[in-house]
Amino acid sequence: MKLTFAPASPFARKVRIAAIELGLIDQIELVATAVVPGQANEEYSRINPLKKLPVLILDNGDAILDSYVVVEYLDELAGGGKLLPLSGPTRWRVKSEHSMLQGMLDSMLLCRYEKFARPEGTHWNAWLDDHWNRAWCGFAHFARQPTLMSRPFDVVAISLICALGYADYRFPDCGWRSAFPELNEFARALADRPSVKVSAPPAP
């Protein structure tokens, strides 16, 4: 299997952490892929018309996307029920919490693109603030969870680590650690976990 990825991508990081946790990383070749907003990439668009990464390309050529679906695929490959529950109310809670994190990451990426990819003079600050606020409210939601520190290292915990890591990487002055000490404790407790450590974004 091949995984298209970029070292800075929080979505690709989620899949990498999942693959390591599931013991499947050795079966996956990481293929560094550049996707730049505003620039065509016809070759990659044939793999994913949305031009987003990551995509898992199976040995038979089938493409699996997006990051959550790839994690679900890998989880099933590893026997099932390891990073997300197979059934019952917990499954739907985990999927919903993951959707919230996915939206938070989408909003943070839009902020990043708005700030750094959009031409100077065309920035829409109200839109940027709105999207940043969505991510921030999501962080507040997870910080309030009484089970934060005791939850399993599942697809939600993995995605939360990736969202916090992305905030550190792209918005180092945003102050999430002081605003949400519970999340700071959560991130510190997991910082030395091998899958988390090895997948950390490169130095900015």
Q: Which residues bind ligand GSH (CB under 6 A)?
A: 9-11, 35, 37, 51-54, 66-68, 102, 109
Report in angstroms the alpha-carbon separations of 151 from 20, 32, 94, 154, 196.
19, 32, 11, 8, 16
Q: How far apart are the C-alpha atoms of 38 and 63, rounded to whole Å? A: 23
- Burial pattern 98-125, b for ≥16 Cβ within 10 A else e, equals bebbbebbebbbbbbebeeeeeeeeeee
Closest residue to ligand GSH, judged by C-beta, is 66
State the minimum distance, in angstroms, from the CB of residue 127 to ligand GSH: 16
Record the tokens describing residue 162, joined without a space.
Answer: 């990736």
Give the residue with the Cβ less far from ligand GSH, 103 or 184. Answer: 103
State the minimum distance, in angstroms, from the CB of residue 173 to ligand GSH: 21
State the minimum distance, in angstroms, from the CB of residue 112 to ligand GSH: 9
State the minimum distance, in angstroms, from the CB of residue 171 to ligand GSH: 14
Helix (H, G, I), strand (E, B) or coil at 2: strand
Q: How far apart are the C-alpha atoms of 169 and 175, rounded to whole Å? A: 12
Task: Select from 157, 159, 163, 156 the least CA-distant residue to 186.
Answer: 157
Give the residue with the Cβ less far from ligand GSH, 21 or 66. Answer: 66
Give the residue with the Cβ less far from ligand GSH, 84 or 192. Answer: 84
Give the residue with the Cβ less far from ligand GSH, 51 or 177. Answer: 51
State the minimum distance, in angstroms, from the CB of residue 178 to ligand GSH: 26
Give the residue with the Cβ less far from ligand GSH, 39 or 150. Answer: 39
